Structure 1
Amino acid sequence: MGREFIELFDNWSEDYDQTVAGHDEQYREVFEHYDHILQTVASRSQGTVVEFGVGTGNLTEKLIALGRQVYGVEPSSGMRGQITKRGLAFTLLDGDFIQFPQIGAPVDSIVSTYAFHHLTDAEKEEAIALYSKLLSSGGKIVFADTVYRDADERELIHASAREAGYNDLLYDLQTEYYTTIEALQAMLERNGFSVTFNRLNRYVWLIDATKNG
């Protein structure tokens, strides 16, 4: 359920915003067009939104600015501490993609950025099945995350990081649970969603899925 990464995010919480701003060369391409990526996800959402992995609140802020009612789910106490400092008007919950408190309202959208890869493929499908029950017909899953077009692209990206000497990035790519478009599409379609994929930078794809009637 991604909870094996909580300590990493507790330790990263104070420096996270510097990383996404491009201050870490190894991750600069991963977070290229970061603000545009967040705005794209926020603009595709609708109504009452559950956001998983709120982090320091960068996407949360954009959702609120668009008038969404937001329930934010975050397992890292360090990250919850950072977002609390911002004083945003939303409901913050301690939980993860699969285990989270009951949402006290009908849910129209489920969103996340840079986080779904912390679940194994089996856990991803478990989460998607749960969201299929939570959303009504026309409800949306809108994620932006690192996904490989296919296995060949995985090898190319790993080789590129290795050649650049980006050992921290390569370690993350090899040890976290990045999947392929084919695998994600199959999971979503099996659970009653129609989905489109659009590339937002070399690493990140927009996953825009609508619950079928």
Structure 2
Amino acid sequence: MGREFIELFEEWSETYDAAVGGHDKEYAEVFRHYESILDSVASKAEGHVLEFGPGTGNLTAKLLERGLQVTGIEPSPSMRRIAARKLAGRTDFLDGDFLEFDAPDTVDTVVSTYAFHHLTDEEKEKAVEKYGKLLRTDGKIVFADTMYQSRHDRLRSIEEAKTAGFHNLAEDLGREFYTTIPFLQGVFEQNQFTVEFTRCNRFVWIVEAVKK
């Protein structure tokens, strides 16, 4: 459920904002257009937003700027502390993960950026089913994350990273649970969502799913 990566999150918390700023050459393409990706996700959100994996609170801040109510679910204590400090008590960051969390009474939109890949495909199915039960008709799930059009594309991406000497990136792409668009489309449709995918850079796509 992503909690196996908490040690990584704890180590990464103090340098995360620098990483998403494109200062690490290995991950520059992963985080290309980072701010506009977050803006796009925030622009699609409505009402009471349940955010998974807010990290240091970058998307949270954009959601709050739009006047939305946000409940953040973050498993990393260090990330929660940084987010709470940056946003000065403007919202709550609760301990939890994609599958184990205390849900608010009303949820209109579920969002996440750069985090859904911490779930296996089986866990992704369980998560989407769970969120579908929380959302009313026309409620939304909006995720931005690395995903691929096919398994072949993923393997090719790993080999390209190795060829470029980006060994940390190659290890991450091989270790974490990056999925395919056809798989996700099937999961959303099975749970009565209409879904669209929009490409943002070589790695990241935005998924917008609306509950029927």
Q: Which of the five TM-score ranges fits, normalised by the shorter chain?
A: over 0.9
Q: SS of the counterpart of 1:85?
A: helix
Aligned match of 1:189: 189
Question: Deviation digits for residues 84-127 of structure 1, max 9, x if unmatched?
Answer: 11115112111000000131x31100000000000000000000
Question: Deviation digits for residues 149-179 of structure 1, max 9, x if unmatched?
Answer: 1122112211210100101000000010000
Which amino acid in the other structure matches residue 122 of structure 2?
A: A
Cα distance in structure 2, aligned partners of 1:156 and 1:92: 37
Instruction: After superposing the two structures, state which structure 1 stretch, 151-160 or 74-83, moved more.
Output: 151-160
Q: SS of the counterpart of 1:149?
A: coil
5 Å-filtered alignment, 1:2-13, equals: 2-13=2-13
Cα distance in structure 1, aligned partners of 2:121 and 2:89: 32
* Mapped contact 1:30–1:203 kept (Cα < 8 A): yes
Cα distance in structure 2, aligned partners of 1:41 and 1:66: 12
Cα distance in structure 2, aligned partners of 1:156 and 1:36: 26
Aligned match of 1:102: 103
Aligned match of 1:208: 208
Aligned match of 1:160: 160
Which amino acid in the other structure matches residue 15 of structure 2?
A: D
Cα distance in structure 1, aligned partners of 2:93 and 2:78: 13
* Mapped contact 1:10–1:76 kept (Cα < 8 A): yes
Cα distance in structure 2, aligned partners of 1:123 and 1:102: 18
Which consecutive aligned stretches of 4+ in structure 1 deviate over 3 angstroms post-superposition?
none
Aligned match of 1:150: 150
Aligned match of 1:178: 178
Q: Does 1:62 align with 2:26?
A: no
User: Could you list the runs of 5+ residues in structure 2 that have no partner in the other structure?
Assistant: none
Aligned match of 2:76: 76
Cα distance in structure 2, aligned partners of 1:68 and 1:76: 23
Cα distance in structure 2, aligned partners of 1:75 and 1:8: 11
Which amino acid in the other structure matches residue 155 of structure 1?
A: L
Aligned match of 1:130: 130
Cα distance in structure 1, aligned partners of 2:181 and 2:27: 21
* Mapped contact 1:113–1:145 kept (Cα < 8 A): yes
Question: Deviation digits for residues 171-205 of structure 1, max 9, x if unmatched?
Answer: 00001000000000011111111100010011000
User: Could you list the runs of 5+ residues in structure 1 that have no partner in the other structure?
Assistant: none
Q: SS of the counterpart of 2:96?
A: coil
Q: SS of the counterpart of 2:136?
A: strand
Aligned match of 1:89: 90
Which amino acid in the other structure matches residue 154 of structure 2?
A: R
Q: SS of the counterpart of 2:9?
A: helix
* Mapped contact 1:61–1:88 kept (Cα < 8 A): no
Aligned match of 1:23: 23
- Name the Cα RMSD after superposition: 0.7
Cα distance in structure 2, aligned partners of 1:169 and 1:124: 22
Cα distance in structure 1, aligned partners of 2:107 and 2:56: 22
Aligned match of 2:37: 37
Which amino acid in the other structure matches residue 128 of structure 1?
A: V
TM-score calculated relative to the size of structure 2: 0.98
Q: Using the aligned pairs only, state the percent identity.
A: 54
Q: SS of the counterpart of 1:6?
A: helix
Q: SS of the counterpart of 1:40?
A: helix
